Amino acid sequence: MHDRPRQATPRSDVLTLLPARNDATRGGQVRLDGVVMFRSTPTLLALLWLALATAACGTGAVGRAVAGKAPSAADALDEPALDPATIDCSSLGRARPLVVDWGSQDRLDLELTMRDRVAVVHYGCDGLRLLPSCTLAGSYRFAGVSRKEEMVQLTSADELAANLPFSAVKLQAEMKRGSAIDLALVMVGKHVTSVREGPRVLLEGECEGATHFVHSAYVGAFAMDRGTKGKARSLVDVFGRGGEASSSYQARRASKDGEVDACRGSKSADPRPPEQCASTLRIELYPLIDGGKPAGKKSEAKEDLDEPACPEGMVEHDGICTRPKEPEDRSCPKSNVKACRMRCDEGDAESCYRLAKLHFYGTGLERSFTKPIPLVLEACEGGVLPACTAFYDVSVYCENDAKRNQRDASHCMVGRRIPIVESACEKGAGKSCLLLANLASGSDDARWRRYMRRACDLGNGGACSRFAEAQLEGHHDVPTDVPAALETLERGCQGGEFMSCVTLFKVYDEGKHGVASDPERATTYEAQLCAQENAIGACMIVAKRYRDAPPGISRDRDKAIRFFRHACSLKLNPLAGEGCYALAEMLRFSGGRLSEKEKKEAVESYFEACRLSGEGCDFAITLTKQRAFRHDKQACVDGKADACERLGVTLADEGCRHEKPRQCKQLGAHAPSRLRGHCITSGKVDSVACEAWRKQGGEVPAFPASPSR
């Protein structure tokens, strides 16, 4: 890249960028964000259109929008210009965007947030931004992994938008025909939290717009440079050139962070990343959820492939999101045998794993414990870590099947089980580490301790729960350490382990194991049970504690409402009805003026309570009548006869229950005259208006048998 963009002759369809030397501008130019631009009507219209498109559904950076690109960039990649609207990010659940194009301050903000709590972000069509004032309880632990070096080449506008969401537009504008962005990445570990679900009920602070939380952050070193499409380069070459400020992009943002030599000295057992090899490369985002997992279901680590990590219409290949070359050129759907076989034959590791599962479970194929073996092995060697753990299970089934049918079991690759699982554990697969610990239980305490601790460090809540038990009781030759056990239990609880949360609640509520009683802290663990397990009894305990403020707990109306609302939303049993009734009561007697939204929620909550438990039925009917009365009152004033009739009937039957006395008197003077008029107009003794008029004490005229209207 050149040190300065080449100056071009102004044209109506080209937006030429010049370095801005001072605030003055020459004739025919306009300054925008410190950049001098040639003024032309078509150009400015194009810029306005691009800015609107970017704001609506484009790329973004933390705390600011990314500037629009030059229209001349349409020719840069020999393809249509980047249109962010073509990237459908609305369907994203999990996502793994690179963050190497973040500014250094943005990455520092993320790292500082992750020291204290789980980082919460907004991630959508308008980009990714950190929400520093939004809190989700949890912590991160560093786990080293086997060093991974990889080269990534981004060659299209869509790949830039999906993988480098902060500077995709600017990068494309600077790329020439046939060029690409070369990324050299060296990963040595990750900071990972045990939090597997992000229930919104647990969010604290300013969380408007929150969609995801950061489950893990991969760290190491990176270098970025402009390359040539289709031309392979070595990692050392890109690192050697990545530090050169040879383009305006590189002048604006660091294109290199960290040193290859420092990374190559790392080991998976290191407690922290090496100096000069600790930059955040990629973050893994999990979506926030409105409720916990269905009651009674065991927490599962999200290490499978069922949830896409790329925008709709893109597939993950070699660590990046890319468009499929052909309509069929993508990782196969869950049960499409033909597509899975075709993609596996083409070398797609994830498709091989899915095809193996189709064979194993007999989905669309004859069930087999033999055919999945080479497929799972290929997927594992292709970098699909869940396949490595699955290889052990498939191999065991294969061996047992061979013994049962008195066949040779050599094709089951029994001898490769443990080495493959060990390799996956070193690469960062928590389930593989947990499997190794379970296999060592009762025979090798040192091996159990090593792999159970590593599984916990890699975010497996079940492993944390079991290791904490050993720390409390001294099992597996683990030294008894209550403070360390409580810390480990906390990771287990945050990871959705029911018994970890129960143990922590009892420890702090009752003051066990020499720990002082702390009801406020105990309540936070009960809240975890409520949010993650949908344990409705826990939700009610938490809500009542924040409402009633027993000793040791501060009253918190907002939290009480939040947890009553969560209990009501479960609609599982009469206890949910109690939650709905308590929610309606708190909203109704809030002490302040309710918004229309709160009024509506109170009425609906009374109705839900009435339906689920029989509570609140009278209030539901009364509040509904009040709403109808106010509607009819306004409609009657506006001259609608049917509303006046209904209003008169209500006044006759129920008096002034729904209105203030003075206003009721005015209505009483107004409505009867209307009722008498409607009665006479109706010409029928038994009309609604005449019946209402009679109840008001009025005299109904004697109508002829065949009234002339």
User: In Å, how far are 530, 584, 683 from 566, measured between CA atoms?
Assistant: 8, 13, 55
Bridge partners of 191, per DSSP, are 142, 217
Is 84 or 359 the better-scoring residue by pLDDT? 359
**Which are the contacts of 14, defined by CB distance < 8 A and separation ≥ 6?**
8, 43, 70, 71, 72
Q: How would residue 250 be classed by pLDDT, with cut points 50, 70 and 90?
A: very low
Asked if 36 and 67 touch (Cβ cutoff 8 Å), the reply is no
Rounded Cα gap, residues 694 and 268, in angstroms: 90
Q: Kind and range of the H or E element at 153?
A: strand 140-154
For residue 126, pLDDT beyond 80: no
Q: How would residue 294 be classed by pLDDT, with cut points 50, 70 and 90?
A: very low
- Integer Rg of the chain from CA: 33
User: In Å, how far are 23, 202, 688 from 672, measured between CA atoms?
Assistant: 75, 55, 13
For residue 444, pLDDT beyond 50: yes
For residue 453, pLDDT beyond 90: yes
Rounded Cα gap, residues 637 and 671, in angstroms: 9
Q: SS3 for 31?
A: strand
**Which are the contacts of 603, defined by CB distance < 8 A and separation ≥ 6?**
584, 620, 623, 624, 627
Average pLDDT, integer, range 259-276: 90
Backbone angles phi, psi at 267, to 5 degrees: -135, 150
Rounded Cα gap, residues 88 and 58, in angstroms: 10
For residue 18, pLDDT beyond 60: no
pLDDT in tens, 203-244: 999 999 999 999 999 999 999 888 888 888 888 888 885 444
Average pLDDT, integer, range 63-68: 32
Q: What is the dihedral of CA 105, 111, 115, 121, to 10 degrees?
A: 100
Q: How would residue 79 be classed by pLDDT, with cut points 50, 70 and 90?
A: very low
pLDDT in tens, 586-607: 988 876 677 778 888 888 898 8
Q: How would residue 2 be classed by pLDDT, with cut points 50, 70 and 90?
A: very low
Among 51-55, 347-351, 365-369, 485-489, name the one with the lowest average pLDDT: 51-55
User: In Å, how far are 12, 204, 502 from 18, measured between CA atoms?
Assistant: 16, 46, 64
Asked if 78 and 172 touch (Cβ cutoff 8 Å), the reply is no
**Nearest alpha carbon to residue 532 among 494, 477, 479, 560:** 494
Is 477 or 685 the better-scoring residue by pLDDT? 477
pLDDT computed for residue 320 by the predictor = 72
User: In Å, how far are 2, 4, 48, 329 from 29, measured between CA atoms?
Assistant: 23, 19, 16, 47
Average pLDDT, integer, range 518-547: 91
- The 10 Å Cβ neighbour count of residue 189 is 28
**Per mean pLDDT, which of 72-76, 319-323, 580-584, 637-641 is the most reliable?**
580-584
Asked if 201 and 531 touch (Cβ cutoff 8 Å), the reply is yes
**Per mean pLDDT, which of 17-21, 48-52, 234-238, 284-288 is the most reliable?**
284-288
For residue 648, pLDDT beyond 70: no
Percent of the chain at pLDDT exceeding 70:
66
User: In Å, how far are 296, 489, 506, 550, 574 from 530, measured between CA atoms?
Assistant: 12, 17, 15, 19, 16
Rounded Cα gap, residues 219 and 144, in angstroms: 9
DSSP code string of 610-676: HHHHSTTHHHHHHHHHHHHHHHHHHHHHTT-HHHHHHHHHHHHHHTTTTS-HHHHHHHHHHHHHHHH
For residue 439, pLDDT beyond 70: yes
pLDDT computed for residue 93 by the predictor = 77
Q: How would residue 326 be classed by pLDDT, with cut points 50, 70 and 90?
A: low
pLDDT computed for residue 680 by the predictor = 64
Q: What are 259's two structure tokens?
A: 């040193």
Average pLDDT, integer, range 109-128: 87
For residue 418, pLDDT beyond 80: yes
Residue 485 one-letter amino acid: A
Q: How would residue 704 be classed by pLDDT, with cut points 50, 70 and 90?
A: low
**Which are the contacts of 275, defined by CB distance < 8 A and separation ≥ 6?**
262
Q: How would residue 253 be classed by pLDDT, with cut points 50, 70 and 90?
A: very low
Average pLDDT, integer, range 496-524: 92
Rounded Cα gap, residues 113 and 631, in angstroms: 50
For residue 651, pLDDT beyond 50: yes
pLDDT computed for residue 570 by the predictor = 86
Q: 114, exposed or middle or buried, with CB in 10 Å at 0-12, 13-18, 19+? A: buried
pLDDT computed for residue 693 by the predictor = 63
**Nearest alpha carbon to residue 290 among 574, 599, 565:** 565
Rounded Cα gap, residues 113 and 110, in angstroms: 5
Is 331 or 258 the better-scoring residue by pLDDT? 258
Average of per-residue pLDDT values in the chain: 75
Is 90 or 32 the better-scoring residue by pLDDT? 90
Asked if 293 and 496 touch (Cβ cutoff 8 Å), the reply is yes
Percent of the chain at pLDDT exceeding 90:
36
Average pLDDT, integer, range 163-167: 69
For residue 303, pLDDT beyond 50: no
Q: How would residue 620 be classed by pLDDT, with cut points 50, 70 and 90?
A: confident
For residue 323, pLDDT beyond 90: no
Q: Kind and range of the H or E element at 184?
A: strand 179-193
Asked if 428 and 439 touch (Cβ cutoff 8 Å), the reply is no
Q: What are 260's two structure tokens?
A: 């290859």
For residue 29, pLDDT beyond 80: no
Q: How would residue 433 be classed by pLDDT, with cut points 50, 70 and 90?
A: very high
Q: Kind and range of the H or E element at 219?
A: strand 212-228
Rounded Cα gap, residues 490 and 692, in angstroms: 67
pLDDT computed for residue 68 by the predictor = 35
- Residue 352 CA from chain centroid, whole number: 28
Average pLDDT, integer, range 608-635: 76
Q: How would residue 1 be classed by pLDDT, with cut points 50, 70 and 90?
A: very low
